[in-house]
Homo-oligomer: A and B are copies of this chain.
Amino acid sequence: MRTVSERTIQMRINKNEAADMLLEMDNILILAHENPDGDAVGSACALCKGLRSIGKRAYISLEPISKTDAFMTEKLVRPAEFIPEHIVAVDTADIKILGVEGSGLDKSCNVELCIDHHMSNVFFARNTYLDESASAAAEAVYDIMKTMNIPFTKDIAECLYVGIATDTGCFRYSNTTSKTFRTAAELADMGVDIGKINKIQFETKTKEYAAIEKMAIASMQTHFDGKCAMITVTHEMFEDSGAADCETKPLSSIPRQIEGVYAGITIKEKKKGLFNISVRTNEPVNASEIAGYLGGGGHRMAAGCTFEGTRQDAEKAVLEAVRTVFEKAGLL
Protein backbone atom coordinates (compact mmCIF):
# COMPACT_ATOMS: atom_id res chain seq x y z
CA MET A 1 0.00 0.00 0.00
CA ARG A 2 1.20 3.47 -0.81
CA THR A 3 1.45 5.89 2.05
CA VAL A 4 0.21 9.41 2.15
CA SER A 5 3.61 10.88 1.21
CA GLU A 6 3.45 9.17 -2.17
CA ARG A 7 0.11 10.75 -3.02
CA THR A 8 0.23 12.89 -6.07
CA ILE A 9 -3.25 12.91 -7.50
CA GLN A 10 -6.38 14.05 -5.68
CA MET A 11 -8.96 13.40 -8.37
CA ARG A 12 -12.64 14.19 -8.51
CA ILE A 13 -14.23 11.34 -10.43
CA ASN A 14 -17.69 10.55 -11.76
CA LYS A 15 -19.88 7.66 -10.70
CA ASN A 16 -18.87 5.42 -13.60
CA GLU A 17 -15.22 5.81 -12.65
CA ALA A 18 -16.02 5.17 -9.00
CA ALA A 19 -17.97 2.05 -9.98
CA ASP A 20 -15.09 0.82 -12.15
CA MET A 21 -12.59 1.39 -9.32
CA LEU A 22 -14.68 -0.65 -6.89
CA LEU A 23 -15.20 -3.45 -9.43
CA GLU A 24 -11.43 -3.75 -9.79
CA MET A 25 -10.70 -3.83 -6.05
CA ASP A 26 -10.68 -6.74 -3.62
CA ASN A 27 -9.91 -7.00 0.12
CA ILE A 28 -11.51 -3.69 0.87
CA LEU A 29 -11.81 -1.89 4.20
CA ILE A 30 -14.54 0.71 4.45
CA LEU A 31 -14.16 3.62 6.87
CA ALA A 32 -16.30 6.65 7.64
CA HIS A 33 -16.10 9.74 9.83
CA GLU A 34 -15.50 9.62 13.58
CA ASN A 35 -18.53 9.13 15.82
CA PRO A 36 -20.36 7.63 12.84
CA ASP A 37 -24.02 8.59 12.49
CA GLY A 38 -26.76 6.67 10.70
CA ASP A 39 -25.61 7.84 7.29
CA ALA A 40 -21.98 6.88 7.90
CA VAL A 41 -22.93 3.43 9.20
CA GLY A 42 -25.71 2.84 6.65
CA SER A 43 -23.54 3.88 3.70
CA ALA A 44 -20.58 1.78 4.83
CA CYS A 45 -22.69 -1.30 5.54
CA ALA A 46 -24.64 -1.06 2.29
CA LEU A 47 -21.42 -0.80 0.29
CA CYS A 48 -19.81 -3.65 2.23
CA LYS A 49 -22.80 -5.95 1.71
CA GLY A 50 -23.00 -5.01 -1.95
CA LEU A 51 -19.30 -5.71 -2.56
CA ARG A 52 -19.61 -9.07 -0.82
CA SER A 53 -22.65 -9.97 -2.92
CA ILE A 54 -20.50 -9.77 -6.05
CA GLY A 55 -17.81 -11.99 -4.53
CA LYS A 56 -15.44 -9.51 -2.93
CA ARG A 57 -13.93 -9.63 0.52
CA ALA A 58 -14.92 -6.47 2.35
CA TYR A 59 -15.15 -5.25 5.92
CA ILE A 60 -16.07 -2.10 7.77
CA SER A 61 -14.31 -0.41 10.65
CA LEU A 62 -16.51 2.08 12.47
CA GLU A 63 -16.48 3.00 16.16
CA PRO A 64 -18.54 3.52 18.24
CA ILE A 65 -21.73 2.06 16.76
CA SER A 66 -24.92 3.33 18.39
CA LYS A 67 -27.55 0.86 19.62
CA THR A 68 -29.95 1.94 16.89
CA ASP A 69 -27.43 1.24 14.11
CA ALA A 70 -25.99 -2.02 15.42
CA PHE A 71 -28.46 -4.20 13.49
CA MET A 72 -26.74 -3.24 10.23
CA THR A 73 -23.18 -4.18 11.12
CA GLU A 74 -23.51 -7.87 11.96
CA LYS A 75 -20.62 -9.93 10.50
CA LEU A 76 -19.24 -6.88 8.73
CA VAL A 77 -16.72 -5.65 11.32
CA ARG A 78 -13.09 -6.17 10.40
CA PRO A 79 -11.37 -8.98 12.30
CA ALA A 80 -7.88 -8.12 13.58
CA GLU A 81 -6.19 -10.47 11.10
CA PHE A 82 -7.72 -8.82 8.03
CA ILE A 83 -5.12 -6.87 6.09
CA PRO A 84 -6.83 -4.62 3.57
CA GLU A 85 -5.48 -3.99 0.09
CA HIS A 86 -7.76 -1.04 -0.51
CA ILE A 87 -9.31 1.60 1.71
CA VAL A 88 -12.57 3.32 0.87
CA ALA A 89 -14.12 6.10 2.95
CA VAL A 90 -17.76 7.13 2.92
CA ASP A 91 -19.46 10.27 4.27
CA THR A 92 -16.11 11.83 5.21
CA ALA A 93 -15.30 15.38 4.20
CA ASP A 94 -11.81 15.65 5.66
CA ILE A 95 -8.93 13.39 6.69
CA LYS A 96 -9.01 15.15 10.09
CA ILE A 97 -12.32 13.49 10.95
CA LEU A 98 -11.61 10.09 9.37
CA GLY A 99 -12.50 7.46 11.95
CA VAL A 100 -9.54 5.08 12.23
CA GLU A 101 -10.09 3.88 15.80
CA GLY A 102 -10.07 0.10 15.86
CA SER A 103 -9.05 -0.12 12.21
CA GLY A 104 -5.36 -0.83 12.80
CA LEU A 105 -4.61 2.23 10.65
CA ASP A 106 -3.77 5.84 11.29
CA LYS A 107 -5.00 8.97 9.57
CA SER A 108 -2.10 8.90 7.14
CA CYS A 109 -3.51 5.76 5.52
CA ASN A 110 -4.06 5.79 1.77
CA VAL A 111 -7.75 6.33 1.12
CA GLU A 112 -8.12 5.40 -2.54
CA LEU A 113 -11.75 6.34 -2.91
CA CYS A 114 -14.04 8.62 -0.96
CA ILE A 115 -17.80 8.69 -1.61
CA ASP A 116 -19.37 11.76 -0.06
CA HIS A 117 -22.04 14.45 -0.20
CA HIS A 118 -20.55 17.26 1.92
CA MET A 119 -20.03 20.54 0.14
CA SER A 120 -17.05 21.03 2.45
CA ASN A 121 -15.21 17.93 1.15
CA VAL A 122 -11.51 18.78 0.84
CA PHE A 123 -10.65 15.99 -1.64
CA PHE A 124 -8.27 14.30 0.77
CA ALA A 125 -8.65 10.90 -0.90
CA ARG A 126 -6.81 9.87 -4.05
CA ASN A 127 -10.17 9.79 -5.81
CA THR A 128 -13.41 11.37 -4.68
CA TYR A 129 -16.94 10.86 -5.92
CA LEU A 130 -18.77 13.84 -4.49
CA ASP A 131 -22.48 14.50 -5.04
CA GLU A 132 -23.24 17.73 -3.19
CA SER A 133 -26.88 17.52 -4.27
CA ALA A 134 -27.34 14.23 -2.41
CA SER A 135 -29.19 14.48 0.89
CA ALA A 136 -26.99 11.72 2.33
CA ALA A 137 -23.83 9.81 1.44
CA ALA A 138 -26.17 6.82 1.12
CA GLU A 139 -27.77 8.46 -1.93
CA ALA A 140 -24.33 8.70 -3.57
CA VAL A 141 -23.45 5.12 -2.60
CA TYR A 142 -26.77 3.94 -4.03
CA ASP A 143 -26.05 5.63 -7.36
CA ILE A 144 -22.65 3.97 -7.60
CA MET A 145 -24.04 0.57 -6.63
CA LYS A 146 -26.71 0.90 -9.33
CA THR A 147 -23.97 1.69 -11.85
CA MET A 148 -22.13 -1.45 -10.68
CA ASN A 149 -25.31 -3.52 -11.27
CA ILE A 150 -25.21 -4.80 -7.71
CA PRO A 151 -28.40 -6.73 -6.93
CA PHE A 152 -30.28 -4.89 -4.19
CA THR A 153 -31.49 -7.08 -1.35
CA LYS A 154 -33.80 -5.94 1.42
CA ASP A 155 -30.74 -6.03 3.68
CA ILE A 156 -28.79 -3.57 1.55
CA ALA A 157 -31.84 -1.38 0.97
CA GLU A 158 -32.38 -1.11 4.75
CA CYS A 159 -28.87 0.26 5.26
CA LEU A 160 -29.30 2.83 2.50
CA TYR A 161 -32.69 3.80 3.90
CA VAL A 162 -31.21 4.38 7.37
CA GLY A 163 -28.57 6.64 5.82
CA ILE A 164 -31.08 8.75 3.93
CA ALA A 165 -33.71 8.86 6.67
CA THR A 166 -31.27 9.86 9.42
CA ASP A 167 -29.43 12.54 7.41
CA THR A 168 -32.73 14.19 6.45
CA GLY A 169 -34.27 13.94 9.95
CA CYS A 170 -36.78 11.51 8.40
CA PHE A 171 -37.41 13.77 5.39
CA ARG A 172 -37.89 16.86 7.55
CA TYR A 173 -34.84 18.95 6.72
CA SER A 174 -34.44 21.20 3.73
CA ASN A 175 -31.86 18.86 2.17
CA THR A 176 -34.79 16.60 1.27
CA THR A 177 -35.34 16.74 -2.50
CA SER A 178 -37.59 15.00 -4.99
CA LYS A 179 -34.66 12.69 -5.69
CA THR A 180 -34.49 11.81 -2.00
CA PHE A 181 -38.18 10.83 -2.06
CA ARG A 182 -37.70 8.83 -5.29
CA THR A 183 -34.78 6.96 -3.79
CA ALA A 184 -36.83 6.22 -0.68
CA ALA A 185 -39.64 4.93 -2.92
CA GLU A 186 -37.24 2.57 -4.69
CA LEU A 187 -35.88 1.32 -1.36
CA ALA A 188 -39.42 0.79 -0.03
CA ASP A 189 -40.16 -1.29 -3.12
CA MET A 190 -37.11 -3.44 -2.27
CA GLY A 191 -38.91 -4.48 0.90
CA VAL A 192 -37.66 -2.05 3.55
CA ASP A 193 -40.09 -1.99 6.48
CA ILE A 194 -40.31 1.81 6.66
CA GLY A 195 -42.46 1.92 9.79
CA LYS A 196 -40.24 -0.49 11.70
CA ILE A 197 -36.98 1.24 10.89
CA ASN A 198 -38.39 4.69 11.59
CA LYS A 199 -39.62 3.45 14.93
CA ILE A 200 -36.12 2.30 15.86
CA GLN A 201 -34.42 5.44 14.57
CA PHE A 202 -36.90 8.17 15.48
CA GLU A 203 -39.55 6.94 17.90
CA THR A 204 -37.43 5.24 20.53
CA LYS A 205 -35.61 6.93 23.37
CA THR A 206 -33.30 5.09 25.74
CA LYS A 207 -34.28 5.34 29.38
CA GLU A 208 -31.11 7.31 29.97
CA TYR A 209 -31.93 9.75 27.19
CA ALA A 210 -35.53 10.12 28.39
CA ALA A 211 -34.21 10.87 31.88
CA ILE A 212 -31.74 13.53 30.76
CA GLU A 213 -34.29 15.04 28.37
CA LYS A 214 -36.71 15.45 31.27
CA MET A 215 -34.04 17.27 33.29
CA ALA A 216 -33.00 19.37 30.30
CA ILE A 217 -36.57 20.48 29.57
CA ALA A 218 -37.11 21.27 33.24
CA SER A 219 -34.01 23.51 33.09
CA MET A 220 -35.35 25.60 30.24
CA GLN A 221 -35.21 29.36 30.68
CA THR A 222 -36.32 32.02 28.26
CA HIS A 223 -34.71 35.43 27.84
CA PHE A 224 -35.22 38.62 25.87
CA ASP A 225 -39.00 38.37 25.88
CA GLY A 226 -39.01 34.74 24.72
CA LYS A 227 -36.69 35.38 21.77
CA CYS A 228 -33.96 33.19 23.30
CA ALA A 229 -34.57 29.82 24.96
CA MET A 230 -31.77 28.04 26.80
CA ILE A 231 -31.39 24.61 28.35
CA THR A 232 -28.46 23.58 30.51
CA VAL A 233 -27.39 20.00 31.14
CA THR A 234 -24.98 19.82 34.04
CA HIS A 235 -22.35 17.21 34.77
CA GLU A 236 -24.58 15.96 37.60
CA MET A 237 -27.47 15.44 35.18
CA PHE A 238 -25.21 13.28 32.99
CA GLU A 239 -24.24 11.26 36.05
CA ASP A 240 -27.79 10.97 37.43
CA SER A 241 -29.32 9.94 34.12
CA GLY A 242 -26.49 7.71 32.93
CA ALA A 243 -26.85 9.19 29.43
CA ALA A 244 -23.82 9.16 27.14
CA ASP A 245 -22.80 12.42 25.53
CA CYS A 246 -23.25 10.98 22.02
CA GLU A 247 -26.92 10.21 22.60
CA THR A 248 -27.76 13.74 23.73
CA LYS A 249 -27.53 15.35 20.27
CA PRO A 250 -31.33 15.69 19.90
CA LEU A 251 -31.40 18.04 22.91
CA SER A 252 -29.90 20.79 20.74
CA SER A 253 -33.02 21.04 18.63
CA ILE A 254 -35.42 21.53 21.57
CA PRO A 255 -35.05 25.23 22.47
CA ARG A 256 -35.31 26.55 18.91
CA GLN A 257 -38.60 24.71 18.28
CA ILE A 258 -40.55 27.10 20.45
CA GLU A 259 -42.55 29.68 18.58
CA GLY A 260 -41.00 33.13 18.74
CA VAL A 261 -37.50 31.84 19.54
CA TYR A 262 -34.71 33.26 17.39
CA ALA A 263 -31.83 31.65 19.29
CA GLY A 264 -32.04 28.23 20.94
CA ILE A 265 -29.07 27.50 23.19
CA THR A 266 -28.08 24.12 24.62
CA ILE A 267 -25.27 24.06 27.17
CA LYS A 268 -23.81 20.66 28.05
CA GLU A 269 -21.27 20.15 30.81
CA LYS A 270 -19.55 16.98 29.62
CA LYS A 271 -16.69 17.29 32.09
CA LYS A 272 -16.96 19.28 35.27
CA GLY A 273 -16.32 22.92 34.36
CA LEU A 274 -16.12 22.31 30.58
CA PHE A 275 -19.17 23.33 28.58
CA ASN A 276 -20.17 22.50 25.03
CA ILE A 277 -22.54 25.11 23.76
CA SER A 278 -24.70 24.58 20.73
CA VAL A 279 -26.50 27.45 19.08
CA ARG A 280 -29.50 26.99 16.75
CA THR A 281 -31.16 30.02 15.24
CA ASN A 282 -34.05 31.17 13.12
CA GLU A 283 -33.74 33.98 10.56
CA PRO A 284 -32.50 36.69 10.74
CA VAL A 285 -30.15 35.57 13.53
CA ASN A 286 -26.80 34.09 12.53
CA ALA A 287 -25.78 31.22 14.83
CA SER A 288 -22.14 31.32 13.77
CA GLU A 289 -21.96 34.97 14.80
CA ILE A 290 -23.16 34.12 18.32
CA ALA A 291 -20.74 31.19 18.59
CA GLY A 292 -18.02 33.37 17.11
CA TYR A 293 -18.12 35.74 20.10
CA LEU A 294 -17.11 32.75 22.24
CA GLY A 295 -14.38 31.52 19.92
CA GLY A 296 -16.51 28.97 18.06
CA GLY A 297 -18.18 28.80 14.67
CA GLY A 298 -20.33 26.81 12.31
CA HIS A 299 -23.19 27.46 9.95
CA ARG A 300 -25.80 30.20 9.75
CA MET A 301 -28.51 28.23 11.54
CA ALA A 302 -26.37 25.83 13.61
CA ALA A 303 -23.08 26.59 15.32
CA GLY A 304 -21.16 25.75 18.46
CA CYS A 305 -18.43 26.70 20.88
CA THR A 306 -16.90 25.59 24.17
CA PHE A 307 -16.53 27.40 27.48
CA GLU A 308 -14.46 26.73 30.59
CA GLY A 309 -15.67 27.98 33.96
CA THR A 310 -18.82 27.83 36.02
CA ARG A 311 -22.35 27.18 34.77
CA GLN A 312 -23.31 30.73 35.70
CA ASP A 313 -20.42 32.21 33.73
CA ALA A 314 -21.18 30.02 30.73
CA GLU A 315 -24.84 31.06 30.68
CA LYS A 316 -23.91 34.71 31.18
CA ALA A 317 -21.33 34.67 28.40
CA VAL A 318 -23.75 33.12 25.90
CA LEU A 319 -26.51 35.54 26.82
CA GLU A 320 -24.13 38.46 26.30
CA ALA A 321 -23.27 37.15 22.82
CA VAL A 322 -26.95 36.62 22.06
CA ARG A 323 -27.76 40.17 23.21
CA THR A 324 -25.08 41.65 20.94
CA VAL A 325 -26.30 39.73 17.88
CA PHE A 326 -29.97 40.43 18.66
CA GLU A 327 -29.18 44.15 18.96
CA LYS A 328 -27.40 44.16 15.62
CA ALA A 329 -30.37 42.34 14.07
CA GLY A 330 -32.76 44.95 15.50
CA LEU A 331 -34.57 42.44 17.69
CA LEU A 332 -34.06 44.31 20.97
- Residue numbers of A with Cβ under 8 A of B are 170-179, 181-182, 184-186, 188-189, 193-196, 198-199, 202-207, 210, 213-214, 217-218, 220, 226, 253, 256-260
Contacts and interface: CB of A to CB of B under 8 A. Distances in A.
A205 B257 contact: yes
A52 B274 CA distance: 60
A204 to B, nearest CB: 6
B178 A185 contact: yes
A195 B173 contact: yes
A186 B182 CA distance: 9
Contacts of A173: 195, 198
28 contacts: A170-B170, A170-B171, A171-B194, A172-B199, A172-B202, A172-B203, A176-B188, A176-B195, A177-B188, A178-B185, A178-B186, A178-B188, A179-B185, A181-B181, A181-B182, A181-B184, A181-B188, A185-B185, A203-B253, A203-B256, A204-B258, A205-B257, A205-B259, A207-B226, A210-B220, A210-B258, A214-B217, A214-B220
Contacts of A179: 185
Contacts of A258: 204-207, 210
**Across the A-B interface, the 9 shortest Cβ-Cβ residue pairs:** A174-B195, A181-B185, A178-B188, A178-B185, A181-B184, A172-B198, A171-B171, A210-B258, A182-B185
Nearest to A165: B171
A300 to B, nearest CB: 13
A193 B256 CA distance: 20
Contact of A176 (B177, B194, B203, B210): B194
Contacts of A184: 171, 178, 181
